[in-house]
Structure 1
Amino acid sequence: MKLLLGGEYICSVRFRDEFSLLEDSDEQEAVNTWLGSLNMRLARLGEDGAFFTAPTCIGSKDITQVKNELLKFRDEYGPAVLLLDFIRQSDAGRVFLSPGEYIALYELDAAVSQSTMLETQLKSLLSVIGNAAQRNTNHKNLQWLLDQLVKDGYAILANKDSGTYQVTGKIEQLYAVLQFLDENKIIRDAEVDDREADDTAGDLVDVAQSDEGVAT
């Protein structure tokens, strides 16, 4: 319940034990009863995705908050979109960035070392990667990139020794937001006119639209 109130997305990757508990119908009922006193409810991304909290009834205050977040797309979701799409491009389409999928640091490093385009793209992303710097090696900046996704809740460090990360269920929330923005043309209305950001968002929207997970 503390995780839910903290805004976490409880999935089988990042919060395995808590996710297993919430899959039990009796546990869901108990949590919903408790959240009901706070005018909240237990929601889920698709039929088997991550659990999170949502308002029992969406009021004007909630609508205003959502509008403000969407209008701040570049700040709220832009960095994650750019970093995730960089990973997707680095693996020539073999990475779909689905919950549970693994990302290997050494594979990213190898891809960047073999592509001037990817190396240039990585350098252009340093401003949105915490602790990244021009003086660092590509390997170190890639590690900071993945650690940034961990910090934002989109991945976990699955194996420290091998530098292997795993995508969490929260990524489906990002896909849902991107699909909503695309369908309602909110990106254009919010004047998100940066060409690189627009193209990147479009790439990940294609991934989102191929995923049937929908928040319920």
Structure 2
Amino acid sequence: MSLLLSGEFVCEVRYPDAYRFLAVESNQKDVNAYLTRIGRTLAATEQGGSWYAAYDRIDQDEKRAIKDEFTRIKQKIRFLVEFFVKSMRASEREVFYSRGDKIEAHALMAAIDGNPGLRAEFQALGNVGRGGATDGKMKGSLDRQLRMLVDEGYLVVANAEREIYQVTGKIEYLTEIVQFLMTTDNIADDISEEQETPAQLF
């Protein structure tokens, strides 16, 4: 419960025990009963890979909270999407990342080094993410970008020694946010009671 209330996304990659707990229907009902009492509801991503606490009702305070959170996500979404898209290109993937997929830092760095154009793109991306490439070194910049994705809950460190990262179920939430932004971009300016999608996302 504490994970959900703190805004975490519970998936089998990052929180396997909690995810298994929520996989039981009776536990879902118990958790949802508690969340409902505080104006929240148990929600899952469309692909079912991650659980999170969304707003069950939207009053004025909730509108402000949703607006603030959505603004925060929009500020970071360019970095998030571009990192995964560029990593796809570097790894020669044909489909977008999904939960459980792995990103090997050494292999990614080798691909970047072998492609001057891609290297320039990742260096530019370092200026978008937190703590850009201030030392001028691509490896340091890539490490900071990966740490940011871990801090934001999109990656976990699967093997620290080999620098292997694993994509969490929160990637599904990112995909839904992108799809929502493609249909409307006025949420940060005007959230009306009729707009149900933001409540479902938050």
Query: Do the structures match in fold with TM over 0.5?
Result: yes
Task: Tell me the equivalent position of 1:207.
Answer: none
SS in 2 for 1:97: coil
Residue identity in the other structure for 2:37: S
CA distance in 1, matches of 2:30, 2:9: 18
Task: Tell me the equivalent position of 2:50.
Answer: 50
CA offset at residue 44 of structure 1? 0.6
Residue identity in the other structure for 2:128: V
Does the 8 Å CA contact 1:39/1:55 hold for their aligned counterparts? Answer: yes
Task: Tell me the equivalent position of 1:82.
Answer: 82
CA offset at residue 50 of structure 1? 0.5
CA distance in 2, matches of 1:108, 1:95: 16
Instruction: Map 1:96-115 to 2 at 5 A.
Output: 96-115=96-115
CA distance in 2, matches of 1:2, 1:65: 19
Residue identity in the other structure for 1:105: A
Does the 8 Å CA contact 1:155/1:168 hold for their aligned counterparts? Answer: yes
Task: Tell me the equivalent position of 1:160.
Answer: 160
Amino-acid identity (%): 30
Instruction: Map 1:137-176 to 2 at 5 A.
Output: 137-176=137-176
Q: Taking structure 1 as reference, are residues 76 and 65 closer, same or farther at Cα in structure 2, changes over 3 Å only? A: farther
CA distance in 1, matches of 2:25, 2:117: 49
CA distance in 2, matches of 1:9, 1:72: 17
Task: Tell me the equivalent position of 1:200.
Answer: none
**Which segment drifts farther, 164-173 or 139-148?**
139-148
Task: Tell me the equivalent position of 1:93.
Answer: 93
**Which segment drifts farther, 10-19 or 140-149?**
140-149
Alignment partner of 1:16 is 2:16: yes
CA offset at residue 118 of structure 1? 1.1
CA distance in 1, matches of 2:143, 2:21: 32
Instruction: Map 1:24-43 to 2 at 5 A.
Output: 24-43=24-43
> In the TM superposition, what whole-angstrom CA distance separates every residue of 1:176-215 from its partner, at most 9, and x where no partner exists?
010011122559x99xxxxxxxxxxxxxxxxxxxxxxx96
CA offset at residue 136 of structure 1? 5.0
**Which segment drifts farther, 48-57 or 90-99?**
90-99
Does the 8 Å CA contact 2:133/2:140 hold for their aligned counterparts? Answer: no
**Which segment drifts farther, 84-93 or 170-179?**
84-93
CA offset at residue 157 of structure 1? 0.4
Residue segments in structure 2 that go unaligned for 5+ positions in a row: 191-199
**Which segment drifts farther, 167-176 or 130-139?**
130-139
What's the Cα RMSD here? 2.6
> In the TM superposition, what whole-angstrom CA distance separates every residue of 1:40-71 from its partner, at most 9, and x where no partner exists?
11111125221100122234543454345445
Does the 8 Å CA contact 2:99/2:167 hold for their aligned counterparts? Answer: yes
Task: Tell me the equivalent position of 2:194.
Answer: none
Q: Taking structure 1 as reference, are residues 71 and 135 closer, same or farther at Cα in structure 2, changes over 3 Å only? A: closer
**TM-score of the pair, normalised by structure 2:** 0.83
Q: Taking structure 1 as reference, are residues 71 and 47 closer, same or farther at Cα in structure 2, changes over 3 Å only? A: closer
Does the 8 Å CA contact 1:123/1:134 hold for their aligned counterparts? Answer: no
